[in-house]
Structure 1
Amino acid sequence: MTATRSSERTGALTTLGLVLAREIRTRTFSRTALMSIGFSVLIIAGLIFVPKIIGGGGGDHPEVAVAGAKPAQVEQYAKLLPDNDVSAAPAGATPTEDRPLVVTLKPRAIDGKVYESSQLSELESVTARLQLALLSDGSGEKAPAVHLKAVHDDSEDVSRSMIGYLVVVLLFGQIVGMSSAVTQAMMEEKGNRVVDLLLPKIKPLSLLWGKVIGAGVAGLVQTGAMAGAALGLLLASGDRSTFDIVLGIGWIVLLWYLLGFLFMGVIYGGIGAMMRKPDDVPSVTVPLQLINMLTFLVGVVALQQPGAAWVDVVSKVPPFSAILVPLQYITQETTTGDMLTSAGIIVACALVLSLAGARLFSLAVRTDSPKDALRAFVTPRAGTA
């Protein structure tokens, strides 16, 4: 009897491995997967290099306070800087959040101060125009020296916010995309009756986990390829600070991709098991689409204040945790204990859902109607009959 159980266990592991290997081979090296990686790398390259090519430009034109200038000069500089609100300032004025740029004119120098370092490019543009104006009015034979200084260094905060947004988009796209692939695979194999040949030899739970793990590994390879491309492009661009941030967060992004996909994959797999033809997709997947939209919306809103109390609470709830925990880690708004709690919750939920999904799958094989499968799932006695 012990030998029989061992044989059954080995058989289950063997069949799981076969399904898993087939899914990895199919999903990882398909034309669609390679095109998706290539397209994503092009987008990443554009986000890194386009701002540098166009000069890093900035749509904001903050207020400029000019110290050491006569009223007539202030009016002249206001015409010279039509995109900025130019005003006079007393000697020794310092930048504030409301008045971030302060320029002090001296006989042979221009001292520029800015409230945050991310606005240095705007300050540089302003002082360059003032320098030209001072040369053109004949007040000096040489251009006055320009000294620029930032009161607060927020360069890393800006980089982390930008990376956080990209991670939210990347994780959401990968988790939903690969989960949808599981649904499609389950629907196709049920529709062409392949599953009728597999189930007598493969347990529903093994088939479901084989599909989910295989698609998850394929997605992990794709995500890793995109992360590697981003690191290479950042090195090529010379942006060492952003490179260091991305390198430090890479593991958390890959880990939470796996956890998020683990949770959503078993849900999509169970849902896909109920469908036999494409016409079934809208009626069955509408609730999932609403959950996906809500997850993405929560991630975007959380970007505005990742350390808010409501974000801490929602980050414990799957599937939102797959987006919010990496975001909070990137913006340094979470702790190791909070991350472990969120990870434990999402893994436990995925394991419970996998059992429910396997049962739903086995019931759905016996009927062509998703409603009948759900009815049998909810009322076991009717399903048994």
Structure 2
Amino acid sequence: MSAANPEPSRLRGLLLVAGREIRVRGLSKANIVSLIVTVVIVGALAALPTLIGGDDGDEKIGLAGANAAAMQAQLDAMGGFDITVYGTAAEAEQAVEDETVEAAVADGSLYSRDGVGNELETRLDAAWQAAGVQTNLANAGLSDQEIAGALTVKPLEFVTLESGGVTGPLDYFTGLVISIIMFMMLMTPVQYIAMGVVEEKSSRIVEILLTSLKPWQLLGGKVIGLGVISLVNLVAMVAVGLGVSAATGMLSDLPPGTASAAVSTVGWWLIAFALFGTLAGGVGSLVSRQEESGSVLTPLIMSLTVSYIGAIFLLNAPTSTFAEILSLVPPFSAIAMPTRMAIADVPAWQIGLSAGLLALAAAGALALGAQLYKRSVLFTGSRLKLSEALRRAA
């Protein structure tokens, strides 16, 4: 019976450390305030396209003349117009003067107080042309069915011959938000893990803890605890971002894969956090003072920064060779692939290969980080070199 006890004890030790991290850091006032502020910022960013787009209400347009009915049908088909039909051109013109409508079309003339924008002018002109053709066909004796057949044209089929960039500013904005969230949600907890390890080591608390816990339990619990805190924050951000987008009507306007990419971001983050988090704990154990932690963290911070900058460049050409390589090679793929998935159609084999390579890299990082921590956490004094730590007896 006693042989069965060690396993639950090991798991219990791991969970005790994780629980302590969650209580101390997750429930701290600083973390709660930070979460609230971050969620508010994400919500504001999600609503930003709607806010800068101004009033999305229908354009108020007046119509008059022989083609009014036909043009109204065209504008109704286009959508986005609040149409008022007037009996005469003079009434339509007066409505513009009174600012009842923004513009009016009557007997071949477009009335406005101080001009209309290019987009509105183009749409009204296209509707006028189509209405004129429809009226001419009706005057020629064609039935409504024959007119509908004559006006029905198969839309263009879009064929892209070269690797292109992002289709529009909304795509770029969406990818940018995802890359920023991934970067921040990896950078912050990674630094917390390293600083926590150094703090416990410099205060000699780790020596007391290791009398009843294994090194892997101590490091693993710290990574899991901070991982749970960060995961809650990340899920809250994704939920708020998608919720605000849905509430403002922007979700349907986002690129087709945006929602699934945002949800899958959680999965990519988990793998990336396992990679960077355990390495942070391992390299943090190489030093005994907080002021030295920056030097050992520099490689990790630089790789995260390069990953983020690469994802920003990727936004301009998500289907380029550079983007494909960046989104496949770890650790850069941790940020590059979810960003690319949000703005372009990525082949399933590339997603699978990227996830597999990142998971393998995370497994290697787990092994390396655990060994570094195990061999260095009780070493005091000057900074321990990586090569020296690996040569030390376990």
CA distance in 1, matches of 2:291, 2:106: 75
Contact in 2 for aligned 1:182/1:269 (Cα 8 Å): yes
Task: State the match for 1:120 in structure 2.
Answer: none
Paired residue for 1:301, among 313, 316, 325? 313
Secondary structure at the residue paired with 2:384? helix
Paired residue for 2:35, among 34, 37, 49? 37
CA distance in 2, matches of 1:333, 1:271: 38
Secondary structure at the residue paired with 2:213? coil
Whichever of the two has the greater Rg, that structure is 2
Task: State the match for 1:163 in structure 2.
Answer: 174
Task: State the match for 1:27 in structure 2.
Answer: 25
2:273 is equivalent to residue 273 of structure 1: no
Paired residue for 2:118, among 111, 126, 134? 126
**Scaled by the length of structure 2, what TM-score is found?**
0.68
Any unmatched runs of 5+ in structure 2? 56-104, 131-154, 159-164
CA distance in 2, matches of 1:356, 1:48: 39
Which residue identity lines up with residue 286 of structure 2 in the other structure? M
Paired residue for 2:193, among 172, 178, 182? 182
Contact in 1 for aligned 2:49/2:170 (Cα 8 Å): no
CA distance in 1, matches of 2:8, 2:382: 33
String of CA shifts for 1:255-304, please: whole Å, max 9, x gaps: 11111111111111111222322221232222223222211111111111
Secondary structure at the residue paired with 2:5? helix
CA distance in 2, matches of 1:203, 1:124: 73
Secondary structure at the residue paired with 1:274? coil
Distance 1:271 1:370, change over 3 A: farther
Any unmatched runs of 5+ in structure 1? 58-104, 111-122, 132-143
Greater mean deviation of Cα atoms: 264-273 or 233-242 = 233-242
CA distance in 2, matches of 1:345, 1:370: 35
CA distance in 1, matches of 2:288, 2:119: 67
Which residue identity lines up with residue 126 of structure 1 in the other structure? N
Task: State the match for 2:12 in structure 1.
Answer: 14
Task: State the match for 1:283 in structure 2.
Answer: 295
Distance 1:311 1:238, change over 3 A: closer
Q: CA RMSD in A?
A: 3.4
**Scaled by the length of structure 1, what TM-score is found?**
0.70
CA distance in 1, matches of 2:52, 2:339: 28
Deviation at 1:375, TM superposition (A): 4.4
Distance 1:376 1:7, change over 3 A: farther
Contact in 2 for aligned 1:190/1:273 (Cα 8 Å): yes
CA distance in 2, matches of 1:256, 1:208: 22
2:215 is equivalent to residue 217 of structure 1: no
Contact in 1 for aligned 2:21/2:225 (Cα 8 Å): yes
Deviation at 1:163, TM superposition (A): 1.1
Which residue identity lines up with residue 31 of structure 1 in the other structure? K
Greater mean deviation of Cα atoms: 234-243 or 296-305 = 234-243
Which residue identity lines up with residue 363 of structure 1 in the other structure? R
Secondary structure at the residue paired with 1:372? coil
Contact in 1 for aligned 2:272/2:362 (Cα 8 Å): no
Contact in 1 for aligned 2:201/2:288 (Cα 8 Å): yes
Task: State the match for 1:108 in structure 2.
Answer: 108
Distance 1:49 1:374, change over 3 A: closer
String of CA shifts for 1:3-61, please: whole Å, max 9, x gaps: 43x3332221111111122223333322222222222233233334445444459xxxx
CA distance in 2, matches of 1:299, 1:54: 25
Which residue identity lines up with residue 260 of structure 2 in the other structure? G
Contact in 1 for aligned 2:303/2:332 (Cα 8 Å): no
Alignment identity in percent? 26
Deviation at 1:329, TM superposition (A): 1.7
Contact in 1 for aligned 2:25/2:31 (Cα 8 Å): yes
Task: State the match for 2:323 in structure 1.
Answer: 311
Which residue identity lines up with residue 23 of structure 1 in the other structure? E
Aligned pair count? 308
RCO greater where, 1 or 2, for CA within 8 Å and sep 6 or more? 2
2:240 is equivalent to residue 229 of structure 1: yes
Contact in 2 for aligned 1:364/1:373 (Cα 8 Å): no
Deviation at 1:362, TM superposition (A): 2.4
